[in-house]
Amino acid sequence: MTKEVKKDPTELTVEEKLRALYQLQTMLSEIDKIKTLRGELPLEVQDLEDDVAGLSTRIEKLKSEMDELKKSISAKKIDIEKGKAAVEKYKSQQDNVRNNREYDVLSKEIEFQSLEIELCEKKIKEFTAELKDKEEEIGKSNEALDERQKDLEAKKSELDEIVSETKQEEEKLREKAKVLETKIEPRLLQAFKRIRKNSRNGLGIVYVQRDACGGCFNKIPPQKQLDIRMRKKIIVCEYCGRIMVDPELAGVVEEQHLSSIKK
């Protein structure tokens, strides 16, 4: 059994290059269909994952802030107890003063400590109100987190199901596409990929339909149509830049013929 000699891509005829390109386009279009089937699901999953991460971080931050508020409340309560003890001490000392000056000094200390106690009590009220607000915010954030996690699980499950159904088919198509790419000279392949990337529908090569480009549907001059049918050189549409082939090479001559008969 003779071994098939692999042709250098540069040695292929223009017709062979066009045929390989069209076959590659067909496979890549099938891969695009699989991606379309997945739709926006991958992006939706990513957005939900970002939301879940963001909410989790926010909840942790709120909890940390609550811990700091609780520490501040505890510290203020200790200050109040110290203040009350100081007031009691100064009041007892007033009973043993020797003159009015000592009494006034102790009175001022009692007044100062009383004001400090009031300030601490005011701060405790503020901290307690903040604490309550943060507790409510954590409650709302937890509810939102639960909803996002449920949505994420549902979307992930949906995406996993679609991926599992199409993964094998996509891998086979990608392998075939890789083999075909080796048969196409690098410069032509690069140009084809560039055209495909700039094309809205991902078509880098199209066949002529009713004397017009199958990509942008602009009319093709008769001489250029003849050149396309001759398959002697690579012809691109002057309007959209796509590579053009004749319907016969694309294997759609019968369809065109049947549609013209129906008319």
Domain chopping of the chain, boundaries = 9-37+185-262, 41-165
Burial class (CB in 10 A: 0-12, 13-18, 19+), 190: exposed
Query: Residue 9's pLDDT is what?
Result: 66
Q: Which residue has the higher pLDDT, 107 or 39?
A: 107
> What pLDDT band is residue 3 in, cutting at 50, 70 and 90?
very low
Q: Once rounded to an integer, what is the mean pLDDT over residues 76-99?
A: 92
Angle among Cα 35, 182, 191 to the nearest 5 degrees reads: 70
What would the CATH number be for the domain defined by 41-165? 1.10.287.1490
More confident residue, 262 or 162: 162
Please state, rounded to an integer, the average pLDDT across all residues of the chain.
88
Q: What is the predicted pLDDT for the residue at 201?
A: 86
